[in-house]
Structure 1
Amino acid sequence: MKTFNSLMTVFRKERLIYFFAVILTMAAGLASRHFGELLPDFVHEHFGDALWAAMIYFGVRMICIHRSREWAMMVSLIFSWAVECSQLIQTPWLNEVRSTVLGALILGRGFLVMDLLRYVAGILFVYGMDRYFLRNKKAR
């Protein structure tokens, strides 16, 4: 049976892995927006939103490492969908926030049903990666 200290060491290592996953996913998402004209149309059109949702999943895992992956997947989906649905609210102060670069990256600008599907795809993909790599890590 693991001691409390060894369990905390595992949690710290896993948190660090998820932190780097957040940073890498964020960089990939920003790159997909910045260099979109160099990418195939499908990648440019869909990957940015999927990567944003993937970043949310990794962030939830980083913060709530003690919770299950399934829980993190559901929280990430609910959060992502809530942010997308918040785009239906068009108040002047919120539109001002969305008009900034950071506000647009975090809150988006306009509601699209397709974005909801992109979020599901991005979260499911990284959830699957997360499960696969953990299972293989334990098998070693």
Structure 2
Amino acid sequence: MKFRLSIKYILLTVVLFLVEVLIARYGSGFLRHFIGDVLVVILIYAAIRSFLESKNVLLLILGIFVFACTIEGLQLFDLPKILGIEDNKVASIVLGNTFDWMDILAYALGCISIISMERFLTNVRNR
């Protein structure tokens, strides 16, 4: 990976962040609990790609998936309480407080979406 500023990924990061805020604020049910989790891994990917150019996109995506699954797994142990930040609303939202296998599925679908998007964009560029 090398440092390289990418305006398109910065814009994507901002848009996805705003969508996530709207979902957190006004969304409910499937939209908030599943689609929000699909989008969060795409948001993390876009944020990283805003500043880093990756020759191995699959490795980056795998790293993001492992990171997301690690955070999800830590929810089994009530991480905010262990860290003494359970009263911090932002930390509770970011770290979560309930483990759910459907979240892992959402992260996987988000990562698959990134791979599909990158392959599509590569094919368009190579035409």
**TM-score when normalising by structure 1:** 0.74
- Specify the alignment match of 1:47 in structure 2: 35
Preserved CA contact (<8 Å) 1:26 1:51: no
* Other structure's SS at 1:110 match: coil
In the TM superposition, what is the alpha-carbon distance from 1:85 to its structure 2 partner? 0.9
- Structure 2's unaligned 5+ residue stretches are none
**Structure with greater proportional helix content:** 1
**Structure 2 letter corresponding to 1:102:** V
Q: Look up the match of 1:57.
A: 45
Structure 1 spans left out of the alignment, 5+ residues: 1-7
- How many angstroms apart in 2 are the aligned matches of 1:43 and 1:16? 28
- After TM superposition, give the deviation of residue 47 of structure 1 in Å: 0.7
Runs (4+) of structure 1 exceeding 3 A deviation are none
Tell me, in whole angstroms, the C-alpha distance in 2 between the residues paired with 1:84 and 1:35: 23
* TM-score, reference length from structure 2: 0.80
% identical aligned pairs = 19
- Flag the 1:109–1:48 CA change in 2: closer, same or farther, 3 A: same
Structure with higher Rg: it is 1
Task: Flag the structure with more relative contact order, 1 or 2, with Cα contacts below 8 A and sequence separation at least 6.
Answer: 2
Query: How far apart are the structure 1 equivalents of 2:49 and 2:30?
Result: 28
Aligned to 2:22: 31
